[in-house]
Amino acid sequence: MRTLMILMVVSFAIPRLSQGQSVPTTESPAPERIYHLLREDDDWSFLADPAKQKELWDPIKYIRLRSGRNDWFLSIGGEAREVWEQIGNDNWGQQPFMNSYFNQRYMLYVDVHYGKHVRSFVEFKSGLNSYRIGGPRPIDEKKLDFQAAFVEVGTGNERNWIKFRAGRHEMEYGSGRLIDVREGPNVRLSFDGFKVKAGFGSWQIDGFAVRPDLDKPGFFDNVPNHAVGFWGVYGVRPLTKTITLDAYYLGLDRKTATFNRGVGHEVRHSIGARLSRPVAERNPGWDFDYEALWQFGSFGSAAISAWTLASETGYRFPTVPRGHLERRRSEDEHPRHIQSAIPQGQLFWRSRHGWPRPHQLY
């Protein structure tokens, strides 16, 4: 049994968090007031108009840096999250006691735009854990470090553009089945490396080559894991006003992967596609999330071959809570079944519509 009780969630603004790599639909609020799960995606340039600065934190979301230039500005934001978590019979009953503890997370970011083509983004994180039997795990505590810190250079127009980033990044794509920022646990995940973001007509495409950071509990001591390489291309485009198509290729190289059959060098490639319609927020309507994935590669001298289909279909009723049905099917050949490249890291947390649900760890 796992029980979560949110004691306090405080953000400089938090009417809605949207998933990374998303395409706005007719169900979304006005674009300027979206608060993204990845705060690097927030855009406060519209606050250059003083008449639109109506909320408490607006004066620090847009701070003009050059007179007469709306595209030279500084944004400051952050959040605080405090959670009391209680777990019984953890690790499938191998720890037959109740473990209760208190997690605190504090994050602060500074986003600087030096005109239209150059930008820097720095986000700090601090995660604190109290009262856990056995002490904090790497996902529970991090005194202070950079969650993200990158420099971005770009060019183009509204329809066709390209941006290059170098530094430390957060990553969240699609439903989070394969790549997730690890929002559920107290300490989020970061990557060091390079990323290219581009827009070509209706397509939004990311390419990246990164290494995940090793989680250490101290002050500014996280370093990239040189035993793991992660790269890929992820594209998104709207098919209609409410339906979105994702297509992707992901590569994962782990020098010392550990599975039940032993330890070896793993190289895994993933090719997949996703079709989705967001949950209706105001009016009754259908929503869905369908994803198909094929993985291949090698583990030591053995070959990897696996596929999976995942589906979630729901309907928002006028006067009762949303109902939904989930189904997944997988087939694999030894030595390893379908695996999440960067898993969510917590068995129970939030579904895409905000309610707790079990999440399969691939």
Q: Give 225-262 as a DSSP string.
A: -TTEEEEEEEEEEESSSS-EEEEEEEEEEEEEEEETTE
How do beta strands 2-11 and 228-238 pair? Answer: unpaired
Task: Report how many domains make up the chain.
Answer: 1
Look-up: residue for tokens 């319609």?
A: 277
The domain spanning residue 341 has which CATH number? 2.40.160
Taking CA atoms, 21 is separated from 170, 171, 172, 197, 206, in Å, by: 12, 9, 7, 10, 9
| Percent of the chain at pLDDT exceeding 70 | 80
Banded model confidence at residue 329, pLDDT cuts 50, 70, 90: low
pLDDT given for residue 343 in this prediction: 55
Residue among 183, 266, 256, 196 nearest 232 (CA): 196
pLDDT given for residue 319 in this prediction: 74
| Percent of the chain at pLDDT exceeding 90 | 61
Whether 197 and 165 have beta carbons less than 8 Å apart is answered as yes
Whether 239 and 245 have beta carbons less than 8 Å apart is answered as yes
Taking CA atoms, 294 is separated from 107, 222, 250, 291, in Å, by: 36, 32, 11, 10
Banded model confidence at residue 7, pLDDT cuts 50, 70, 90: very low
Structure tokens at 355: 């309610």
pLDDT given for residue 328 in this prediction: 67
Taking the model in full, what pTM does it have? 0.83
Look over the chain and give the mean of its residue pLDDT values, rounded to a whole number. 83
Count of CB atoms situated within 10 Å of the CB of 16: 13
Report whether pLDDT(129) > 50. yes
- Please write the tens of the pLDDT for every residue from 142-189: 999 999 999 999 999 989 999 999 999 999 999 888 898 999 899 999
Banded model confidence at residue 22, pLDDT cuts 50, 70, 90: very low
- The one-letter amino acid code at 320 reads V
Banded model confidence at residue 97, pLDDT cuts 50, 70, 90: confident
How do beta strands 142-156 and 118-130 pair? Answer: antiparallel
The set of residues, in sequence order, having a beta carbon less than 8 Å from that of 49 and lying 6+ positions away, is none
- Please write the tens of the pLDDT for every residue from 241-252: 999 999 999 999
Which residue range(s) make up the domain with 349?
2-358
Phi/psi region, residue 160 (left: phi>0; alpha: psi -120 to 50; beta: rest), is beta
Residue among 165, 239, 157, 164 nearest 203 (CA): 239
Q: How far apart are CA 38 and CA 61, in angstroms?
A: 16
The DSSP output letter for 175 is: T
Q: How far apart are CA 154 and CA 113, in angstroms?
A: 11
- Please write the tens of the pLDDT for every residue from 188-206: 999 999 999 999 999 999 9
pLDDT given for residue 226 in this prediction: 95
